[in-house]
C-alpha cells in the first residue's frame, strides 16, 4: 500500500499552493493508496479529513509537521494543537504521552548549501545530530531534496538502525507522490497506520510522477 506520508495543502499550510480538489485528482491519477496531511503546526480536524476522504474517495490520514530547535519533525498519532516552537525534548515528551510516532523530516536539507559538505561531513559525524536521539524514524526519501541529501539520510538511518520513511513534502500538485512509503499491510485508519509505523512494516519508494 503506497502512502505519501508528507503533504502540505493550502490554505492550512500558508506556504502551500496545493488545493484539495487537484490533490485528490492527482492522487487518483498516480494511483496512490493514501495520503497523510502534515501541515505546519496544524493538525486537521478529524471530521474535515473524513469528509475529504469520503468526497474524494481516497484514504486520508492526519499528521503534523513541527519545527523544533533541532529541525522539522513529522508527528503521527498526536492531535494536540501546538502553535509555538518546541524544543525537541519538549516535543518528544508530549508525543510520548500520546503514544505517537516521530520522524526527522528532511534532516539534511540544504546541507550542501550550508557548506557542511565542503567540510566533508562523514556519515559518522552526521549521525551525531541531536535530533536522531529523539525520533522513531528518519525521512530518507523526501521529494524536495536532492539524491545526495536523501542518500545521506539513508546512510545515517542504516548506521543508527532507525527505520526510513518516504514522503513528497508536496507544496504543489506536480510534487505529490514523488516519494512514498510502501506498507506491507492494508491500512484502514490512523490507529492502524500508527501500528504499522511502529512495527516497521514498510519500505520506501521513489515514484516517477511525470505525466
Q: Contact positions toward Zn ion, by CB under 5 A?
A: 8, 15, 65, 169
Instruction: Choose between 64 and 188: whose C-beta lies nearer to Zn ion.
Output: 64
How many beta carbons lie within 10 A of that of residue 22, not counting itself? 15
Name which of 77, 70, 3, 68 is nearest 41 in CA terms.
Answer: 68
Instruction: Choose between 5 and 156: whose C-beta lies nearer to Zn ion.
Output: 5
C-alpha cell at 105: 523530516
Q: Closest distance between Zn ion and the C-beta of residue 122, in Å?
A: 27
Residue of minimal CB distance from Zn ion?
Answer: 15
Tell me 59's DSSP state: E
Listing DSSP states for 60-82 in one string gives EEEEEEEEETTEEEEEES-----
Q: Closest distance between Zn ion and the C-beta of residue 186, in Å?
A: 26
Instruction: Choose between 169 and 175: whose C-beta lies nearer to Zn ion.
Output: 169
Q: Closest distance between Zn ion and the C-beta of residue 39, in Å?
A: 8
Rounded to 5°, angle at Cα 8 from 4 and 194? 45
Q: Closest distance between Zn ion and the C-beta of residue 109, in Å?
A: 10
Q: Closest distance between Zn ion and the C-beta of residue 172, in Å?
A: 11
Tell me 206's DSSP state: E
Contact 118, 151 (CB under 8 A): no
Q: Closest distance between Zn ion and the C-beta of residue 157, in Å?
A: 18
Tell me 163's DSSP state: -
Name which of 17, 104, 80, 194 is nearest 8 in CA terms.
Answer: 17
Residues 87 and 158: their CA atoms lie apart, in Å, by: 25
Amino acid at each position: 500500500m503506497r502512502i505519501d506520508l508528507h503533504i502540505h495543502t493550502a490554505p492550512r499550510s500558508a506556504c502551500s499552493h496545493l488545493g484539495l480538489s487537484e490533490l485528490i485528482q492527482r492522487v487518483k491519477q498516480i494511483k496512490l493508496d493514501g495520503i497523510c496531511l502534515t501541515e505546519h503546526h496544524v493538525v486537521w480536524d478529524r471530521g474535515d479529513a473524513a469528509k475529504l476522504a469520503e468526497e474524494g474517495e481516497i484514504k486520508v490520514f492526519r499528521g503534523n509537521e513541527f519545527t523544533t530547535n533541532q529541525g522539522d519533525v513529522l508527528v503521527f498519532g498526536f492531535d494536540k494543537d501546538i502553535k509555538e516552537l518546541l524544543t525537541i525534548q519538549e516535543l518528544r515528551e508530549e508525543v510520548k504521552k500520546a503514544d505517537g510516532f516521530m520522524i526527522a523530516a528532511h534532516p539534511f536539507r540544504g546541507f550542501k548549501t550550508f557548506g557542511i559538505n565542503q567540510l566533508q561531513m562523514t556519515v559518522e559525524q552526521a549521525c551525531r545530530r541531536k535530533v536522531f536521539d529523539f525520533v522513531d524514524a528518519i525521512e530518507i526519501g523526501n521529494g524536495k531534496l536532492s539524491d545526495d541529501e536523501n542518500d545521506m539520510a539513508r546512510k545515517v538511518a542504516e548506521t543508527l538502525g532507525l527505520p526510513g520513511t518516504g514522503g513528497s513534502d508536496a507544496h504543489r500538485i506536480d510534487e505529490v507522490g514523488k516519494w512514498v512509503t510502501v506498507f506491507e499491510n492494508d491500512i484502514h485508519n490512523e490507529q492502524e497506520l500508527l501500528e504499522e509505523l511502529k512495527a516497521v512494516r514498510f519500505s520506501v519508494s521513489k515514484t516517477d510522477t511525470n505525466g
